[in-house]
Amino acid sequence: MAYRNLLIEDTASIRRITINRADKLNALNRDTIDELHDAFRVAQADDQVRVIVLAGSGDKAFVAGADISELTQMNALQAQAFSRAGQQMMLFVERLGKPVIARIQGFALGGGMELAMSCHLRVASEKAKFGQPEINLGVIPGFGGTQRLLRLAGRGAALEMCLLGQNIDAQRAHALGLITRVVAPEKLDEEINTIANQLAHAAPHALAGILDAVLLGGEISIDQGLEFESQAFGLCFSTADMREGTQAFLERRKPVFQGR
């Protein structure tokens, strides 16, 4: 489909999805959420795409939150449906089976922080700001903020950020485990490209197995998680990529993984 609010760009096997609402600080309205959901479905189904980079246009914001002008028009039932649409989209990103890297150059607030947390890796500029300021609007986070904050940073940090509604800087977010790396603004794209290229050359089945195992492992007992890991480990041995990887190691060369 043609997107009104997104830009799509492919570089080899890396797909870049950019939320293109810089005049609104890339705020998430319902149309943008629906377009993101579709764009990620398309990326998942495309075997040529191995890694996705999610970005926001402009210099000021990754995503500054939900579109407040749209929220003010909603009743309770509409707000619940909006929340569920955002949650479903972000859950789809989290369970995509391909690595998704969030490129965070500015504000990642409210829905923007929630969207970033649904990505597998989060690389931020030193100038980035993070927060769950919904309390200041008289509401609570609606796109998974209470749940992913709890899982990524623990109960104390989740309560602090959601109850106080104050922004934190990139260094504090990194210390809490909310972002993967912090780099100078001028190094942001270089760092993301390095990571994306490394992932693009990794074995796709192994990447998917790691993503699934880590995601599932956070929700089940250690015994169940270990059993899932063993099954996923065994499945890798049915792939041509496993044979290529081990043979390349023995031959002291770089493997060429085909996703088979």
Percent pLDDT > 90 in the chain is 93
Q: Is pLDDT of 26 > 90?
A: yes
Cβ-count burial 217-246 (b if 16+ within 10 Å, e if not): eeeeeeeebeebbeebeeeeeebebbebbe
Looking at the 3D structure of the chain, how many domains does it have?
Answer: 2
Which of 177, 200, 223 finishes a domain? 200
Query: Residue 12 — left, alpha, or beta (φ > 0 → left; ψ -120 to 50 → alpha)?
Result: left
Per residue in 46-58, pLDDT (tens digit) is 999 999 999 999 9
CATH of the domain at 214: 1.10.12.10
User: Where in the sequence is the domain holding 119, given as residue range(s)?
Assistant: 6-200
CATH of the domain at 100: 3.90.226.10
Residue 259 belongs to some domain of the structure? no
Q: Are residues 29 and 116 in the same domain?
A: yes
CB 139 within 8 A of CB 111: no
Question: How much is the pTM?
Answer: 0.94
What local confidence, expressed as pLDDT, does residue 227 receive?
93
Q: Are residues 188 and 209 in the same domain?
A: no
- In this prediction, residue 133 has a pLDDT band, given cuts at 50, 70 and 90, of very high
Residue 260 belongs to some domain of the structure? no
Q: Are residues 115 and 180 in the same domain?
A: yes
Q: Are residues 19 and 141 in the same domain?
A: yes
Residue 163 belongs to some domain of the structure? yes
Six-digit token pair at 67? 């579109």
Per residue in 210-246, pLDDT (tens digit) is 999 999 888 889 999 999 999 998 999 999 999 989 9
- In this prediction, residue 39 has a pLDDT band, given cuts at 50, 70 and 90, of very high
Six-digit token pair at 241? 């990529």
Six-digit token pair at 139? 């509401």
Residue 192 belongs to some domain of the structure? yes
Q: Are residues 185 and 235 in the same domain?
A: no
Residues assigned a catalytic role: 114, 134
Q: Are residues 66 and 126 in the same domain?
A: yes
Q: Are residues 125 and 233 in the same domain?
A: no
Six-digit token pair at 46? 């495309």
What local confidence, expressed as pLDDT, does residue 1 receive?
66
